[in-house]
Homo-oligomer: A and B are copies of this chain.
Amino acid sequence: MTSPPSSPKHSPFSFQLLARDGRARAGVFHTPHGPIETPVFAPVGTQATVKALTPAQLHELDASLVLANTYHLYLRPGDDLVAEMGGLHAFMGWPRPILTDSGGFQVFSLGGTNKIDDEGVTFKSHIDGAIHRFTPEKAIQIQENLGADIIMAFDQCPEPYDRGEVEAAVARTHAWLERCVAAKTRPDQALFGITQGGIHPDLRERSAEFVTSFDLPGYAIGGLAVGETKPEMHAMLELMDACLPQDKPRYLMGVGTPADLINGVRRGVDVFDCVLPTRMARNHAVFTRHGSRLNLKNAPFARDPRPIDENCTCYTCQHFTRAYLRHLIVAKEMLSATLLSIHNLHTLIQLAKDMRQAILKGRFESLVRAFEFRV
């Protein structure tokens, strides 16, 4: 662990809201590892690596914030080992900002048979079946060992429709937030609170009110993109824009696609992350900025001399044809995952940057109109 700075009162974290254009926001969040210009898309490096990419390639993509997963790193290689190696930035060779999730989502989705109670969650490792237990305090302790710039409160993410279940999850998430705030010790880490509430406006409002009663450096919108419809998600985002303070960053967890980014920014979201661009790449799929998806394994691409997207400036589109990429896929060459990940991440990172410039110039809606798909 890094030793605390000499003046713990002076937080190394601050958010400047530079412009609004409708609900869309452009800002900058300062961290001990440099600024995060928002809107921003954060690539996911689950196991302390964005799959198939070197940090040098992430730099070339001009990624600023990278996500890593607490659940995975706690199990393997262990947060104590990461701490011993100087923390995540040193361990994975990423000198820019890092965010770790709390592990809450994964213990439910990956952790095998769970026992959940007000104290915490008991789960089975997806690697070896061993039994582990996370509590809010444990989730903070692990994240302090990992040493990311932004750490997340331990929460319960419910199915969005069942009101009773959502209400219980909101209550538990709130109680756990209090314990996370109390447990946190490192002044060089920013703890973001997570709001829940499914698709229920009153629960969402109640959650936002409670979570923002803590003066935290940022707030996340949790429990979306988990099965609800797009209009339901958009309604919740509009509600959250009204409930969350303007002077703090808002992070929509686990989203998305080009359309999701535009729809989120249009409703006041600043920060996004998702495994989709790199997971799609490993399944041979790419998106173009204008919403279409291609699966490059398909036969019609065998002799296609065009790049994935003729308007794209990424390394992949500047150097390789669809025919070559399909060849790599058919020949089971690892390079295909690398090149497709570069393209998919570039598409989202560059889209976020372009939206930022448009917001700063008051031209966000004309940028949105330039997209052919329905946003």
Contact = CB atoms under 8 A, between A and B. Distances in A.
A319 B55 contact: yes
A327 interface: yes
B338 A77 contact: no
A77 B302 contact: yes
Contact of A76 (B49, B323, B331): B331
Copies in the complex: 2
A119 to B, nearest CB: 30
A339 B303 CA distance: 31
Interface in A72-87: 72, 76-77, 81, 84-85
Range class of the A interface residue count = 35 or more
Contacts of A76: 327, 330-331
Given A92-B324, A323-B77, A334-B337, A85 B51 contact: no
A217 B92 CA distance: 47
12 contacts: A47-B327, A47-B331, A47-B333, A48-B327, A51-B334, A54-B57, A54-B338, A76-B330, A77-B302, A84-B303, A91-B323, A91-B324
Interface of A: 47-49, 51-57, 72, 76-77, 81, 84-85, 91-93, 302-303, 305, 315, 319-321, 323-324, 326-328, 330-331, 333-335, 337-339
